């Protein structure tokens, strides 16, 4: 039914490899499948080598009905930058914006409009599956308020930062008792984690690890290794 793909972060070659393995791609063409749909779990851009290409592929797949996507914190920041807001171009955004300078304003507007259409959450399979970038606990599923939005984009944080300046995260999945299966990205991990039916499928492709698809409802993993480490450090 669904092929849920974790944070791609501009890693176009790995995305091509994964789409081929999943049966959506042959040669230079991507074909819709009648029996399955890709679900991008957010953070299409930044950190990897070609965010423009990843955005173009994802946008094409969403337009032709072969994919759906939720917004991630990186996509949201890019959306705000393309809408004329002042944002700090950190964590790979500066490189993404430089790539977007190589195309015309019309294409940039198209990407901005595409990002503007992305929801914070998709509830699928007759309400049995909740997909968002950082995952939503039961009390915030199906909500669109500010708290749900910030949790969907950034997860639950303590307000403190660790020694590398990253926000300290609260592990809410440990106490999850909801009826929906939750699938999310956002937190790069060496291996996919399933805790109480909360699946984190961000396997850190720009950090030299791998790109993951989780096939639903089979709950099987399809993965491709990173071609290289595009970042100077490992988050795990």
CB of 7 to Mn ion, least distance (A): 4
CB of 43 to Mn ion, least distance (A): 4
Q: Which of 163, 215, 90 has the alpha carbon at shortest distance from 199?
A: 215
Nearer to Mn ion, 88 or 177 (CB): 88
Rounded-to-integer distance, Cα 115 and Cα 129, Å: 22
Q: Which helix (H) or strand (E) holds 211?
A: strand 210-216
> What Cα–Cα distance (Å) separates residue 150 from each residue in 41, 67, 79, 134, 146?
15, 24, 15, 9, 6
Nearer to Mn ion, 43 or 50 (CB): 43
Rounded-to-integer distance, Cα 116 and Cα 224, Å: 29
Nearer to Mn ion, 10 or 137 (CB): 10
CB of 204 to Mn ion, least distance (A): 9
Nearer to Mn ion, 11 or 111 (CB): 11
CB count, 10 Å around CB of 109?
12
Q: How many residues does the chain have?
A: 236
Residues that bind Mn ion (CB under 5 A): 7, 43
Residue 231, token pair as written in the block: 């970042």
CB of 74 to Mn ion, least distance (A): 6
CB of 91 to Mn ion, least distance (A): 9
For the chain, what is the largest distance between any 2 Cα atoms, rounded to a whole number of angstroms?
48
Residue nearest to Mn ion (CB): 43
Nearer to Mn ion, 7 or 14 (CB): 7
Which residue is listed with tokens 């995260």?
A: 169
């Amino acid at each position: 039914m669904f092929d849920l793909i974790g944070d791609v972060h501009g890693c176009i070659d790995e995305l091509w490899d994964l789409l081929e393995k999943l049966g959506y791609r042959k040669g230079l063409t991507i074909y819709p499948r009648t029996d399955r749909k890709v679900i991008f779990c957010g953070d299409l851009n930044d950190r990897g080598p070609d965010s423009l290409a990843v955005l173009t592929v994802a946008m094409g797949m969403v337009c032709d009905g072969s994919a759906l996507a939720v917004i991630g914190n990186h996509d949201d920041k890019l959306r705000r930058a393309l809408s004329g807001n002042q944002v700090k171009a950190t964590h790979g955004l500066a490189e993404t914006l430089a790539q977007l300078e190589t195309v015309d304003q019309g294409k940039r507007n198209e990407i901005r409009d595409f990002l503007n259409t992305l929801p914070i959450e998709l509830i699928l399979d007759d309400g049995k599956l909740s997909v968002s970038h950082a995952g939503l606990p039961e009390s915030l599923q199906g909500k669109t308020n500010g708290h749900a939005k910030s949790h969907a984009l950034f997860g639950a944080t303590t307000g403190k930062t660790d020694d590398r300046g990253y926000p300290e995260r609260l592990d809410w999945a440990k106490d999850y008792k909801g009826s929906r299966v939750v699938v999310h990205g956002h937190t790069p991990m060496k291996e996919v984690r399933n805790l109480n039916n909360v699946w984190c499928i961000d396997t850190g492709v720009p950090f030299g690890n791998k790109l993951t698809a989780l096939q639903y409802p089979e709950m099987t993993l399809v993965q491709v290794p990173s071609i290289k480490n595009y970042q100077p450090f490992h988050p795990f």
